Structure 1
Amino acid sequence: MFLEKLCNSTGPSGYEEHIRNVIRDELSTFTDNILIDRMGNIIVHKDRQNDSSSKIMVISHIDESGLIITAYNKDGTLKFSTLGDIDKNSLPAKAVLIGDKKIPGVIGMKPIHIQSKKERDENISYENMCIDIGAFSQEECRRIISLGDFVVFNNKFSHFGDNLLKGKALDNRVGCSILIELLKEDLNCNLYGVFNVQGNIDQRGIHAVAYNIDPDLVIILDTINSIDYMEIPSYFRTSKLREGPVIPFKGGQCIFDRGIVESIRNKADDIGIPYQKIGDTHGEGELKAAYLTVNNCKTASILLPCRYMNFNISICSLADYDNTLFLLKSYLEDCSINI
């Protein structure tokens, strides 16, 4: 599936050129109506009605969480900072690729058997970690790596388990893959498909797109942490793999349009698609960006459960993927009556 190519492509926040080219090349196989704005967002407009019909914008961010090289150490290792939310405790001993040349490296830190008790008891700090590329001096490292080079995790996409998918950047390449499939359909609506940049750093790409399009309805297609680990109490497991997309009423301090949310849930019931109800996603994401930019715009969100979302590798369900795609296609076929 094309999702494999998306996940194996590189494109952390602010460095989306490679993944943007991959998505644009795929889109160009079935449409010429592709616009890339000044920020690097990809916009595809598919209009099957007159110009007065409601503008529907479905958005999915293309960037992945990654790292950025910030300094050289005297021993030839590298200091780094993050691009997006990453659980720093998961970083030590992870394989990475640096920059466009994909220089291999490993995230290292002092071995546990020579750490003091105080060091073992303290939380891991970025200052205690480095990236090792096999260089033995600062001069050697400078010849290979430039400050500001991006870093992505060196994981490959694969199918595993019972109809599950694993790989880096499932947040939110899984949403991009669904949106591409959606744009291949001849839907009877005035649809804008938006693949936005810098989604992991304050949703900066969405502000420009929302202002320029001025949509009547925004549907956010993204992932949400699947809270179904063994250690999590049952009452806290609000989102689970293989139980369908999450359709929430609230995201952080922003409220989704109740009528739109109910109409999406009703459509899921009508076509027999399982879905999950939660009150609050506790994160605002693209919603806040669109909410602040566009006046009188209705918003809703369809989220795919994603286990280990803020780690170097994540897991999603293929059944959730298929159900989300089918739900969106079915809803957009007649959503004009709900706006």
Structure 2
Amino acid sequence: MEGKEILKDLSNFSAVSGSEFQLHEKLENIFKDLVDEIKKGILGDFIAVKKGEGENRLKVLLTAHADEIGLMVTDIDDRGFVHFTNVGGVDPKTLPAQEVIIHGKEKVFGVIGAKPPHVLTDKDRKKSIKIDEMVIDCGMTRDELEKLISVGDFITVKRHSIGLLGDFITGKALDNRSGIMVLYECAKELKNIKHSCDVYFAATSLEERGLLGIKTTAYEVSPDIGIVVDVTFADKYADSDIQIECGKGVEITIGPNIHPELSEKLIKIADEYAIPYTIDVSPASTGTETWNLQICQEGIPTLLVSIPIRYMHTSTEVVNYKDIIRAARLLVLFISSLKDWGDIYA
């Protein structure tokens, strides 16, 4: 299965924050022939280790969070309607009329309903709809539902990832299954070349709930260098401050959350090998796992490489697979250039 098809498969699979362990089997299948060791963490993180050559090897951690945003059952009312809340940054206005799957004892399908426009008052029409004003209609009674689902069950939008023209792909959870595919493509290339570093490919947990899972992963690996791969906004049509677009390269972040010598070396490599990129200047938090990774243990030098996507945190995110390949190539070249800290501070 080629990379695009693997990404579609990962997009179609559901793993809301707190249920990342459900991805483990799929991740093991795609990484097992590329690495030397696989570990599975208590909080649902997945780590694939590719050993380097020589002694006193640097440990490089590449991370991409495995979890996705979603919903959770809070109540089943007397009419058989399911009430719910959000898990992560769900935009309520994207929810009405969506097909959903409730992940209970078995999958239960339903649709999210809301008041039809015909019965809305003028005042209501000017308001943004709230999650507590919506319900899920499964066409079942309360008694029937309670045999299949429970309060606390996760809910995801029912969406099938598809290819668009060229190298574009749309689907849910491309934030951050796209990042996982960067790790996969990187591991695929590193299998065929010599490198000095031990490389830890980590699909981390609970990012959408406050950048939490990276903390335990960092303690488990204790890396010398941490590189976070995530997605970034490519909706240039909607915001003139957005500089990057899908299909035109990767984003490299600089700022106090990022190690200056590491970022300088990464940018030099991108220039040397003509890998298109945009610089993101981030004076404070990057909003990614680098924020917590940097201050784990005694401090971990960090980098952030981002893949541009459109319509983030919707069920129709769009990514260009060429950008995934570019990010992976940049990381392969960076990792293969490292032998010790002298390569950074030279």
Q: If the TM-score is normalised by the length of the shorter chain, which range does it land in?
A: over 0.9
Unpaired runs of at least 5, structure 1? none
- The residue aligned with 2:126 is 121
**Residue range with higher mean Cα deviation, 27-36 or 167-176:** 27-36
- The residue aligned with 1:203 is 211
Q: Which amino acid aligns with 2:169?
A: L
Q: How does 1:259-270 map to 2 (within 5 A)?
A: 259-270=261-272
Question: Residue 122 of structure 1: SS of its match in structure 2?
Answer: coil
Deviation at 1:180? 1.8
Q: How does 1:318-333 map to 2 (within 5 A)?
A: 318-333=321-336
- The residue aligned with 1:34 is 38
Q: Deviations over 1:169-188 (max 9, x none)?
A: 10000111121222232350
Unpaired runs of at least 5, structure 2? none
**Residue range with higher mean Cα deviation, 241-250 or 302-311:** 241-250
Question: Residue 171 of structure 1: SS of its match in structure 2?
Answer: helix
- The residue aligned with 1:83 is 87
Quote the sequence identity (%): 26
Question: Residue 19 of structure 1: SS of its match in structure 2?
Answer: helix
Question: Is the CA contact 1:202–1:285 (under 8 Å) kept in the aligned structure 2?
Answer: no
Deviation at 1:30? 3.8
- The residue aligned with 1:287 is 290
Structure 1: distance between partners of 2:263 and 2:179: 18
Q: Which amino acid aligns with 1:271?
A: Y
- The residue aligned with 2:307 is 304
- The residue aligned with 2:23 is 19
TM-score by length of 2: 0.91
- Give yes or no for the alignment of 1:60 onto 2:68: no
Question: Is the CA contact 1:267–1:331 (under 8 Å) kept in the aligned structure 2?
Answer: yes
- The residue aligned with 1:175 is 179
Structure 2: distance between partners of 1:38 and 1:145: 25
Question: Is the CA contact 1:241–1:320 (under 8 Å) kept in the aligned structure 2?
Answer: yes
Q: Which amino acid aligns with 2:276?
A: P
Deviation at 1:49? 2.7
- The residue aligned with 1:103 is 108
Q: Deviations over 1:267-301 (max 9, x none)?
A: 11111110011212864321122123132421010
- The residue aligned with 2:235 is 227
Deviation at 1:79? 0.8
Question: Is the CA contact 1:182–1:329 (under 8 Å) kept in the aligned structure 2?
Answer: yes
Root-mean-square deviation over aligned CA pairs: 1.7
Q: How many residues align?
A: 332
Question: Is the CA contact 2:225–2:301 (under 8 Å) kept in the aligned structure 1?
Answer: yes
Q: Which amino acid aligns with 2:261?
A: G
- The residue aligned with 1:258 is 260
Structure 2: distance between partners of 1:296 and 1:38: 23
Q: How does 1:182-197 map to 2 (within 5 A)?
A: 182-184=186-188, 185-186=190-191, 187-188=194-195, 189-197=197-205
Question: Is the CA contact 1:57–1:191 (under 8 Å) kept in the aligned structure 2?
Answer: yes
- The residue aligned with 2:6 is 2
Q: How does 1:128-143 map to 2 (within 5 A)?
A: 128-135=133-140, 137-143=141-147
- The residue aligned with 1:271 is 273
Question: Residue 279 of structure 2: SS of its match in structure 1?
Answer: coil
Structure 2: distance between partners of 1:296 and 1:142: 48
Question: Is the CA contact 1:63–1:172 (under 8 Å) kept in the aligned structure 2?
Answer: yes
Question: Residue 26 of structure 2: SS of its match in structure 1?
Answer: helix
Question: Residue 79 of structure 2: SS of its match in structure 1?
Answer: coil
- The residue aligned with 1:148 is 152
Structure 1: distance between partners of 2:174 and 2:69: 10
